Structure 1
Amino acid sequence: MSTIRCLVVEDNPRLRADLVFYLANSGLCAEGVGDGRQLDQAMNATEWDVIVLDLGLPGEDGLSIARRLASRADLGLVILTARDRLEDRLAGWESGAQVYLVKPVPLEEIAAVVNAVYRQIHRTPATEESIWRFYPERRELIVPNGTVITLTHRERLLLRAFFDSPQRCIPRDLTLAQDAGAALDTLIHRLRRKLRPHGDPIRTLYGEGFAFDGDLRCLTETNLD
């Protein structure tokens, strides 16, 4: 694997220096900038693989920057911020970020996340044999090997929530419809138990929520294939 080029956008000089130093010593090509203007200059000078982005920046806010960067399919985006309210986290996920981390986060974990995001961005494109076909009307999920999994009502809502998220990620405190029902952790556990014999596409984002890493397609009766 080629050296990962990571740009840290953080206005706290100490944290920026510590993070850049740790990433560089972990084998990455890492540099740091302090705001959106410096980010644009760095983007014009170098092709970056992953951006680690603070939200509370001077000048242009980090969410605005994230939305600008979201159109780059070849660029990974990790939000690293002190904003921990639910509405902030949802806005971060919806901005196009692959991961939303709330400070403080161990440097080792940030480095692991950067590597994981890079692998996700550069993974092999899906083939017909790797697609998870979700039929919400029928409450069915057809796994890549063709096995049909029958879904409960809440499992259907859960898969729909994954599909509706641009990055196939949902927060841990997600509410499905208006019913109390089982806790999301319990629902995830039950669905993963159903899917595990055929693969395990659901990944835990520790402290944040869950991601569906498989190629999930939502299909209707009118586009059966």
Structure 2
Amino acid sequence: MIIAIVEDHAELRCELVYYLTRHGHSVFGLSNSLELDSLVKNTVPGLLFIDIGLPGESGIEIARRYNSTSGLSIVMLTACCDVESRVRSFEAGADTFLSKPVSFRELDAVIHRAESRRNATSSISCWQLFPIEKLLVSPNGHKISLTLTESRLMKELFSQPEKIASRKSLVTALGANFMVYDDRRIEVSISRLRKKIEVISGLKAPIKSVRNIGYVLESSCILR
């Protein structure tokens, strides 16, 4: 698997490149987003490590730009693990975090997981939902980052594919009380979700509305 590391701290970048190269990976050490953009013109990595605190374009901004790249997993490198940074990174499309100084044992585990997911995605031509990561993967390999609401709605649909999920069950999945919840908000959320899926994946969203009842997932799927 091709790995790119965007880290402005030269010593850490060289250390990671050296370690991963010795373990059989094809690794590119980069210091900023411009170097990454230049690399991706010819070589698209399968795994991207990004330092959050980069000068110029931040790691979070880079993750946001690359989060829909087919087959790409994003790992943030950070010296501070405050909740706000983690939330913003996940919303931008990051799959996970590694804290500095980087543990090589943890690094190996992250790479192993990325390779497993990459193999699973490339060999299965159906919709895949990763609810913990709030990530939807299309049959053609595009990654779609979901909000918490979208992830909960999709998890309810994925849990009963090709069966109707009632409005009540969807409201309950959001942790709300159906008796006081305006279920028209479900329609708005589903409409926005469909549009997001179709724009990013280029495919028709697999969510079909059933008039006055609810929604159904009308395509093959896997809940991870």
Q: Where do 1:82-101 residues align within 5 Å?
A: 82-101=79-98
- Report the equivalent of 2:186: none
Output the CA distance in 1 between the equivalents of 2:60 and 2:21: 26
Instruction: Give, in angstroms, the shift of residue 61 of structure 1.
Output: 0.9
- Report the equivalent of 1:108: 105
Output the CA distance in 2 between the equivalents of 1:104 and 1:21: 15
Output the CA distance in 2 between the equivalents of 1:120 and 1:71: 15
Normalising by structure 1, we get a TM-score of 0.57
The 1:222/1:38 distance shift into structure 2, 3 A limit, reads same
Residue type matched to 1:63 in 2?
I
Is 1:119 equivalent to 2:116 in the alignment?
yes
Number of residue pairs the alignment of both structures matches: 160
- Secondary structure at the aligned position of 1:94 is classed as helix
Are the equivalent residues in 1 in contact too, given 2:207–2:215 (CA < 8 A)? Answer: no
Instruction: Give, in angstroms, the shift of residue 121 of structure 1.
Output: 3.0
**Where does structure 1 differ by over 4 angstroms across 4 or more consecutive aligned residues?**
139-144, 155-158, 217-221
- Secondary structure at the aligned position of 1:68 is classed as helix
- Report the equivalent of 2:13: 16
Q: Where do 1:44-55 residues align within 5 Å?
A: 44-55=41-52
Are the equivalent residues in 1 in contact too, given 2:14–2:29 (CA < 8 A)? Answer: yes
Are the equivalent residues in 2 in contact too, given 1:80–1:100 (CA < 8 A)? Answer: yes
For the aligned residues, what is the CA RMSD? Answer: 3.9
Larger relative helix fraction: 2
Are the equivalent residues in 2 in contact too, given 1:82–1:102 (CA < 8 A)? Answer: yes
Identity %: 30
Output the CA distance in 1 between the equivalents of 2:70 and 2:29: 22
Output the CA distance in 2 between the equivalents of 1:63 and 1:140: 30
Residue type matched to 1:36 in 2?
S
Q: Which runs of 5+ in 1 are unaligned?
A: 147-154, 159-165, 167-216
